[in-house]
């Protein structure tokens, strides 16, 4: 597999030794795996800078660590309050809030901070967003940088727009719609059109090699290939029309799963990625790449209810999304464990089965992987940084550990 960052499964011994003094539950970041993932993302980006998606990390130390590396520039935030906080902390002077905001207090804070207004860009996709901001801040408010979001989902049947493959985000699908809204922004005092973005979730966030489903994988790959080809033409035309009206600072596209295809789009000036830095289980289902599992958490064995079963404390960290089994956390080490079909991952207990379960005793640890990247930071106030080769351990706060919760 080209680009695979393979690593032998040595069991949890190295992690256990590095964290022997800690009582689980706790989460760790394998810094060697994190750095290797960061390097591989740059390789896949083909020379375009990568904007770090903060929602996939939710830890200032990790965001700043990767921003210090060549190939990375700026942060893609998920909340305006978060962007204001990161700006005040000096984490970055290039912050894009990639989701529209209706946070009136945060908008007021942005308008009142001249330095923040120069470094923070907020996303809009309709006149209603501009109207809301005007109503919140009043006429004559200071100029705000805004980013126009283009819908980059795939609509394979032109006459049936309800046939929609991808995430449901912006209503601006055609180049004509994008250019018309750009004119609306440019005609409104108090707004400066700084960039264009689009997230092709049908490529970036959908694995093309789901384990055990080869037919589905082939279908996904066919959809992604056709979607990428259509999008290159449509996005390029939208950007061409907008650039004919005004200069743009950036055109952002992609995500961890689509770096290669998005980088081939000459209209795109920067990429976005975050999940690929830590390698959650949802990103095991790609052929082109496979991140190392860099973020894992430990749960203690607290019961042995019967042969071949061990019960772990806590662990029901279910990822957001479709509510399907792929959103469940997965036992990682020791190898050979699985969740039960009747309980899954529970609020206060998580039973596991498998050959390795019979060898576990009270107080032993099981290492788990989360399905998504950043959401684990909502469960822990600290991440322990470990280098298994040197058996060194330190800790850094997550957003929650710094008293921050942005939804």
Q: Is 344 helix (H, G, I), strand (E, B) or coil?
A: coil
**Predicted pLDDT at 119:** 98
Cα-to-chain-centroid distance, residue 225: 22
| 1-31+277-402: in CATH 2.40.37.20 | yes
Reported as a single tens digit per residue, the pLDDT across 217-268 is: 778 777 777 777 788 899 999 999 999 999 999 999 989 988 998 999 999 9
Q: In this structure, what token pair is assigned to residue 258?
A: 């689509």
Reported as a single tens digit per residue, the pLDDT across 269-299 is: 999 999 999 999 999 988 888 899 999 999 9
Confidence of residue 1 (pLDDT cuts 50, 70, 90): very low
Helix, strand, coil % over all residues of the chain, rounded to 5: 35, 25, 40
Q: Is 72 helix (H, G, I), strand (E, B) or coil?
A: strand
Residue 28 · residue 12 · CB < 8 Å: no
**Predicted pLDDT at 7:** 34
Q: Which residue has the tokens 């822990």?
A: 380
Where in the sequence of the chain do the CATH 2.40.37.20 domains occur?
A: 1-31+277-402
Reported as a single tens digit per residue, the pLDDT across 372-389 is: 999 999 999 999 999 866
Q: Which helix (H) or strand (E) holds 160?
A: none
* CA nearest to 194, candidates 150, 240, 156, 144: 144
Contacts 24+ apart (CB under 8 A), 99-104: 99/123, 100/124, 100/125, 100/129, 102/132, 103/79, 104/136
For 192: left if phi > 0, alpha if psi spans -120 to 50, otherwise beta; the answer is beta
The CATH class given to the 58-273 domain equals alpha beta
**Predicted pLDDT at 216:** 78
Where in the sequence of the chain do the CATH 3.20.20.10 domains occur?
A: 58-273
Per-residue pLDDT, averaged over 360-371, amounts to 96
Is-cis flag, bond preceding 260, omega within 30?
Answer: no
**Predicted pLDDT at 10:** 37
Per-residue pLDDT, averaged over 336-341, amounts to 95
Query: Could you tell me the CA-to-CA distances from 269 to 180, 232, 253, 378 in Å, in that order?
Result: 22, 13, 8, 32
Average pLDDT, the chain: 90
* CA nearest to 173, candidates 198, 156, 152: 152
Answer whether residue 145 shows pLDDT above 90.
yes
């Amino acid at each position: 597999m080209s680009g695979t960052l393979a690593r032998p499964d040595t069991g949890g011994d190295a992690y256990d030794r590095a964290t022997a003094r800690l009582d689980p539950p706790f989460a760790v970041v394998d810094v060697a795996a994190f750095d290797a993932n960061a390097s591989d993302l740059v390789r896949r980006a083909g020379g375009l800078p990568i904007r770090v998606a903060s929602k996939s990390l939710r830890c200032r130390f990790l965001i700043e660590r990767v921003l210090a590396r060549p190939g990375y520039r700026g942060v893609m935030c998920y909340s305006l309050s978060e962007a204001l906080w990161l700006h005040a902390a000096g984490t970055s002077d290039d912050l894009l809030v990639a989701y529209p905001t209706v946070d009136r207090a945060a908008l007021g804070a942005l308008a009142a901070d001249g330095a923040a207004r120069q470094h923070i860009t907020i996303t809009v996709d309709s006149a209603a967003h501009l109207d809301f901001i005007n109503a919140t801040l009043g006429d004559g408010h200071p100029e705000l940088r805004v980013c126009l979001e283009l819908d980059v989902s795939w609509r394979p049947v032109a006459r049936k727009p309800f046939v929609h493959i991808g995430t449901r985000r912006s209503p601006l699908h055609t180049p004509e719609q994008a250019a018309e809204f750009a004119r609306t922004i440019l005609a409104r005092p108090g707004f400066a059109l700084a960039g264009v973005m689009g997230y092709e979730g049908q490529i970036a966030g959908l694995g093309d090699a789901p384990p055990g489903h080869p037919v589905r994988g082939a279908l996904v790959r066919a959809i992604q290939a056709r979607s990428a080809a259509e999008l290159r033409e449509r996005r390029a035309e939208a950007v061409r029309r907008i650039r004919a009206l005004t200069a743009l600072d950036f055109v952002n596209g992609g995500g961890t799963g689509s770096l290669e295809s998005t980088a081939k789009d000459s209209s795109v000036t920067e990429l976005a990625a975050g999940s690929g830095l830590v390698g959650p289980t949802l990103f095991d289902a790609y052929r082109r790449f496979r991140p190392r599992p860099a973020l894992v958490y430990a749960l203690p064995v607290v019961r042995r209810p019967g042969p071949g079963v061990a019960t772990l404390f806590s662990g029901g960290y279910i990822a957001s999304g479709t509510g399907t089994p792929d959103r469940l956390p997965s036992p990682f080490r020791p190898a050979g464990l699985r969740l039960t079909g009747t309980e899954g991952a529970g609020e206060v207990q998580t039973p596991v089965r498998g050959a390795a379960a019979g060898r576990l005793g009270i107080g032993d640890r099981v290492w788990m992987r989360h399905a998504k990247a950043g959401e684990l930071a909502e469960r822990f106030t600290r991440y322990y940084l470990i280098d298994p080769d040197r058996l060194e351990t330190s800790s850094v706060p997550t957003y929650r550990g710094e008293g921050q919760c942005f939804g």
